Structure formats: structure tokens, C-alpha cells
């Protein structure tokens, strides 16, 4: 049984996003950037559109490039997927947690794992 090809960008909505400075010894974030990240993403309860391209992730008006470590979790007690990655944006580095609640969490997981394995092999 062949799997149909995945087209990019992968699109889904995030129920929760949390971004923080990482690695800890990277360029410190300015207070303005921290305030904007909190206002736009971390503390903004509106669902956000996530676009995943081969070498870039776009969340609203934020573009994340130079993607490094990519991780995915699916808690057994919740129907959600959380993607965690390190990336470069607005001249700094960050650790991004993107959580989506969906009945299609396994499909999301499979697409993200395919993306990770194809573009970011270990």
C-alpha cells in the first residue's frame, strides 16, 4: 500500500504556543521582543495558523528558520500533539512548543514525523 505524497506547506492550527530563549547561553532577548512574543503568541489565546515548509515554520507573522532539534510528543491521556523545536527568528534563537488538540492527532503526528525525518535526519 503506497502512501500519498505530502505537499507543503503542512497546515494546522495551534491551540497553545509557548516560546522562550534557548539555548540559555544564546543572545539574550530584548524586553521588547519578550513583550511582543508574550502578546502575540505565548499569552494570546486565539488559535494560530501553523505553516510548515521544508526548511521553515511560519506562525502568524513569525518566521522560524535554521531549525535545529525537532521533537514530538503525544501524551497517552490527551488527544493532542506537541511539537518542540529550536529555531532562529528575529535575530535570536528560541525553543518553541506548539500544541494542537485535534481528533486527527495521529495524522498530525505522522505528517510531522515524516517532515522531521525527511528534512532533519539525525
The pLDDT value recorded for residue 4 is 65
pLDDT digits (tens, 9 = 90+) for 27-54: 899 999 999 999 999 999 999 999 999 9
User: Quick one: 102 exposed, middle or buried, by C-beta within 10 A (0-12, 13-18, 19+)?
Assistant: middle
- Residue 67 falls inside a structural domain: yes
Neighbour count for residue 86 (Cβ, 10 Å) = 18
Look at the chain and report how many structural domains it folds into: 1
Residue span of the structural domain in which 108 resides: 49-82+102-122
pLDDT digits (tens, 9 = 90+) for 9-28: 999 889 999 999 998 898 89
- Residue 93 falls inside a structural domain: no
Q: 96, 64 in Cβ contact below 8 A? A: yes
- Residue 38 falls inside a structural domain: no
Q: 84, 16 in Cβ contact below 8 A? A: no
- Residue 23 falls inside a structural domain: no
The pLDDT value recorded for residue 34 is 95
- Residue 21 falls inside a structural domain: no
Amino acid at each position: 500500500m503506497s502512501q500519498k505524497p505530502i505537499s507543503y506547506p503542512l497546515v494546522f492550527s495551534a491551540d497553545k504556543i509557548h516560546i522562550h530563549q534557548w539555548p540559555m547561553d544564546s543572545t539574550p532577548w530584548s524586553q521588547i521582543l519578550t513583550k511582543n512574543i508574550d502578546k502575540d503568541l505565548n499569552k494570546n489565546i486565539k488559535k494560530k495558523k501553523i505553516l510548515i515548509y521544508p526548511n521553515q515554520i511560519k506562525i502568524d507573522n513569525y518566521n522560524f528558520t535554521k531549525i535545529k532539534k525537532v521533537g514530538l510528543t503525544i501524551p497517552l491521556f490527551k488527544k493532542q500533539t506537541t511539537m518542540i523545536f529550536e529555531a532562529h527568528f528575529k535575530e535570536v534563537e528560541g525553543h518553541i512548543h506548539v500544541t494542537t488538540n485535534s481528533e486527527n492527532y495521529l495524522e498530525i503526528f505522522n505528517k510531522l514525523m515524516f517532515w522531521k525525518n525527511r528534512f532533519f535526519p539525525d
